[in-house]
Structure 1
């Protein structure tokens, strides 16, 4: 290794500036290497690529004899947005050897907050990366990223969007309407980086690419991410100030949540994931992603805690005897004090039950977990309750069999339900449409949904404008007589998301039941003060942070055998903000 480093050093041509030293090999190096140039500059790479790493930024990336960074910022690690970039104080090779016949080195860059590792293999265009926490503060956002040359990488791809990044010329300051969002110069729509968001746990590969170059992230293991099935994140975008092509690796993020502020234990590890370079071929990146997913957890990764895993299985059966078909199942914190979406200190696993309610989590890190489940629509779209079992222990090389688990469901009579109970806006007009700024503005100010004749898609995905949305329904006399002894009714309101600035009064037959608001109530029976999630004004159309509310009231308010109404009256609004619907249920 020393000999190869020495020979590489002899081949370096150095051009030094006050701010950005640049080191470019004249010819291909032999195998993976780390070269220290001075006390704040290192060069890492192999025979295919190399990066010049400074105190904060990886300022040059040479691949196929081309600088892929150019005038862009390069590679760095930061938390709480761009407020705190990590500064590397040293670099060293901590392990070396062979993986599947290829030589490798594990290069560790050390900062006060923790260690960033690059596992560099001979013959691999790219590197496996991981980060180990030692002193990160309580935070919401933590990320690694590349900011690359925009002519080399003009396009962005996620699993739901694949297109050219907007040209910098369209980011006109006078047309800026909100955070990182601009009206297009021709007035035909909006430009926003949030259109390039997607679901974290279904992502296979994503990145930026051009005709000859592609830079991709492949996160085969996802247990280090915060959140559950509903976790969304920004993936790629155009940096509006400079035009850089940005490839984000949001390993702990908050872009579509109320908050996700977590304290991390010493040793918490994010990764390894693969940063992969190629000639811009999406087909090649997809094949590489299939290989990575099939190989996870990586047998070659020499970390005892990473390799120590077990499994959990069981069957969820509803208390009415039905299997919990296709239920969303989540393995997270035991005895949680946060929602499943907000959990993020440790390791998390998501899955779905099968037709019979059976589920299994394989390759789970050892520990004690809380098992949660909720309706994902389909055959149990009427289930409004959730399931939780704490103290699920996962042991090394052991299958924890939870056997049959009973999930209590409501035994009340349901008068109507609008929308599947699944924590998404799917089924409603525009619900789950492609990420696009301002979709909620397409929904009307006033809307009437008639139970029995209206279709689910007649209800719009979000309510934002001043006006009234009404659900008209009948209460059959026979049902009312059978329920005459039941004096209580409950309106269940399930929101897929909510962005502050919009207040709604909730009525049943013009009797005020309560208020949903972000700014304090009006002395009603029940006031729910909601915190902000940015889903509706950050191009979200399917979900943000799920909320659930119950409005109990005297059933005498309802009129047996006659037309009845539940009404949501928006009395205060803010453009592109408001309520994203999941389901509305009335029961007694």
Structure 2
């Protein structure tokens, strides 16, 4: 077809798309690379890559923005070559768009404003990121909402005289920052998120999270405006992410793997209505209309975790992941994953788990287990269809308790409790930590310690062992163990660890691989690191001792994100 005729035809389609409002459920092919689909509430015009028109309640929501598209690892966007109704029921149609890498499905129900979506892998390469997204008219969708934030998106005009300081991060003349990372969140803590204005809202609702990678600490992007997106209101749906907030790694994906279904939902911009819809979806999951045998084949699991010292694993984080327990949970992303939390007796239950074989992992989530720095793991747990696997009592081995000399912060793999630590996400806060700090055990509070250490200088912990003289014993041969737990680390900051002026260890990029969390607005966690040092008796004094953390190399917004410090006498 000649280019000018095709251009005219597509323009005509864009103008008349609202006539499809009289159609109950439909897919129309316009030409070899253009389709229109929807129901009597909304319709989308889809091209080979971009869905460039979205009509809802008589308004067109894309405008000059890019529209809807899907891809992986940067701008490797899928090219759709065909579309068809792959299944249908009395009140829905399932429209599948095919590309070389797989199939994106839009499941359209009669009377539902929006569509369920899911993607089936056919030939994806090893990847870090997989995402769909809408880029919509910023004049209509002015605000972004996650479970952590509900506020106006940055106006595109702010970028015009701003200075780019790193990826997707700009500094304004007043010294403040705008960045897409400030709207990030933890994927398994979400309720719903999206962009909205006074008359329209576009939302993502994920009632099932088993297709998300990793464990409780998995986090990624949600909504934003940015210069690279030309000021569009951006609604991201990142369903696979092993790079943005952890030590990056590409992961192989098996053919037939399904991400989703999730619900893309449209309304009049009312947050309360989106919340109601999210609750409704949670009650309906897993969805009965997706007749994939593996998706419908589910069972359950229950068990109880008890520490080897007799304590129940109260409040422990519990994760069902890969059977290869040598692979760290933060980058597990090949299969399906489930998280929960043990109750006060260490009991846990998961329902609607896809049948298969899993590894079980657990770790302290603070609270009653604040002193527990070991992790639990058990491989080869089988979940059978239609039944509940009872793991009964599981013993979590912890070291024999020594005499604890002091602890700063809970072991929970997070920077919670420290000054400036925890939500919301905010860029540049690490530079608010002091270069030098003195923390006195028995006098200082946990909140006197900062969540991140970055500037050149020394943080000193003073602790008095006068009352421990009998324990230490003059000329005794015992030793202490220093345990350091970091919620994250971004290179190239370097640190020396000293006891009474003697260096016992050095930490930095030669010891830890870098994760981006600290410089991408993260204030809670990146990727967990843990080290221990043996402290000979001869180094310790029977009065005031000093534990020092001296930063010897500074890189702006990079450094160490703290979790916990513990010194115990063995």
Shorter-chain TM range is: over 0.9
Task: Give the drift of 1:482.
Answer: 10
Q: Unaligned stretches of 5+ in structure 1?
A: 1-12, 521-528
Residue of structure 2 equivalent to 1:384: 373
Mean alpha-carbon deviation: is it higher for 442-451 or for 332-341? 332-341
Within 5 Å, give how 1:112-511 maps onto structure 2.
112-172=100-160, 175-185=163-173, 187-241=174-228, 242-253=230-241, 254-413=243-402, 414-475=404-465, 476-481=468-473, 484-486=476-478, 488-511=479-502
Task: Give the drift of 1:23.
Answer: 5.5
Q: Deviations over 1:306-358 (max 9, x none)?
A: 11011111111111111111000000011234211211100000110001000
Residue of structure 2 equivalent to 1:524: none
Residue of structure 2 equivalent to 1:541: 523
Task: Give the drift of 1:221.
Answer: 0.3
Asked if the contact 1:14/1:23 (under 8 Å) is kept, the reply is no
Tell me, in whole angstroms, the C-alpha distance in 2 between the residues paired with 1:481 and 1:496. Answer: 35
Go from structure 1 to structure 2 and tell me whether the alpha carbon gap of 1:281 and 1:106 turns closer, same or farther (over 3 Å shift).
same
Secondary structure of 2:22's aligned partner: coil
Go from structure 1 to structure 2 and tell me whether the alpha carbon gap of 1:297 and 1:303 turns closer, same or farther (over 3 Å shift).
same
Tell me, in whole angstroms, the C-alpha distance in 2 between the residues paired with 1:484 and 1:384. Answer: 27
Give the aligned length: 559
Tell me, in whole angstroms, the C-alpha distance in 1 between the residues paired with 2:139 and 2:464. Answer: 61
Tell me, in whole angstroms, the C-alpha distance in 1 between the residues paired with 2:470 and 2:549. Answer: 28
Secondary structure of 2:547's aligned partner: strand
Give the superposed CA RMSD: 1.8
**Structure 1 runs, 4 residues or longer, greater than 6 Å off:** 18-22
Asked if the contact 2:472/2:537 (under 8 Å) is kept, the reply is no
Tell me, in whole angstroms, the C-alpha distance in 2 between the residues paired with 1:320 and 1:505. Answer: 34
Go from structure 1 to structure 2 and tell me whether the alpha carbon gap of 1:43 and 1:305 turns closer, same or farther (over 3 Å shift).
same
Mean alpha-carbon deviation: is it higher for 18-27 or for 103-112? 18-27
Tell me, in whole angstroms, the C-alpha distance in 1 between the residues paired with 2:224 and 2:441. Answer: 43
Asked if the contact 2:407/2:567 (under 8 Å) is kept, the reply is yes
Residue of structure 2 equivalent to 1:106: 94
Taking structure 2 as the reference length, the TM-score comes to 0.95
Task: Give the drift of 1:173.
Answer: 5.5
Tell me, in whole angstroms, the C-alpha distance in 1 between the residues paired with 2:109 and 2:534. Answer: 62
Taking structure 1 as the reference length, the TM-score comes to 0.92
Task: Give the drift of 1:97.
Answer: 0.8
Asked if the contact 1:311/1:361 (under 8 Å) is kept, the reply is yes
- Of residues 57, 65, 84, the one that matches 1:72 is 65
Task: Give the drift of 1:14.
Answer: 9.4
Q: Deviations over 1:510-556 (max 9, x none)?
A: 121111111x3xxxxxxxx2111111111111111111112234232
Tell me, in whole angstroms, the C-alpha distance in 1 between the residues paired with 2:537 and 2:382. Answer: 44
Residue of structure 2 equivalent to 1:531: 513
Go from structure 1 to structure 2 and tell me whether the alpha carbon gap of 1:53 and 1:17 turns closer, same or farther (over 3 Å shift).
closer
Q: Unaligned stretches of 5+ in structure 2?
A: 1-5
Asked if the contact 1:21/1:41 (under 8 Å) is kept, the reply is no
Go from structure 1 to structure 2 and tell me whether the alpha carbon gap of 1:60 and 1:510 turns closer, same or farther (over 3 Å shift).
same
Mean alpha-carbon deviation: is it higher for 333-342 or for 498-507? 333-342
Tell me, in whole angstroms, the C-alpha distance in 2 between the residues paired with 1:127 and 1:249. Answer: 14
Tell me, in whole angstroms, the C-alpha distance in 1 between the residues paired with 2:267 and 2:337. Answer: 31
Q: Deviations over 1:486-512 (max 9, x none)?
A: 3x4322111101111200011111121
- Of residues 28, 32, 36, the one that matches 1:39 is 32
Q: Deviations over 1:254-280 (max 9, x none)?
A: 321111421011111000000000000
Task: Give the drift of 1:18.
Answer: 9.1
Residue of structure 1 equivalent to 2:3: none
Go from structure 1 to structure 2 and tell me whether the alpha carbon gap of 1:37 and 1:495 turns closer, same or farther (over 3 Å shift).
same
Tell me, in whole angstroms, the C-alpha distance in 1 between the residues paired with 2:175 and 2:198. Answer: 28
Task: Give the drift of 1:16.
Answer: 3.1
Tell me, in whole angstroms, the C-alpha distance in 1 between the residues paired with 2:99 and 2:460. Answer: 57
Asked if the contact 2:372/2:398 (under 8 Å) is kept, the reply is yes
Go from structure 1 to structure 2 and tell me whether the alpha carbon gap of 1:483 and 1:494 turns closer, same or farther (over 3 Å shift).
farther
Tell me, in whole angstroms, the C-alpha distance in 1 between the residues paired with 2:454 and 2:281. Answer: 43
Asked if the contact 2:325/2:378 (under 8 Å) is kept, the reply is no
Asked if the contact 2:168/2:226 (under 8 Å) is kept, the reply is no
Asked if the contact 2:14/2:53 (under 8 Å) is kept, the reply is no
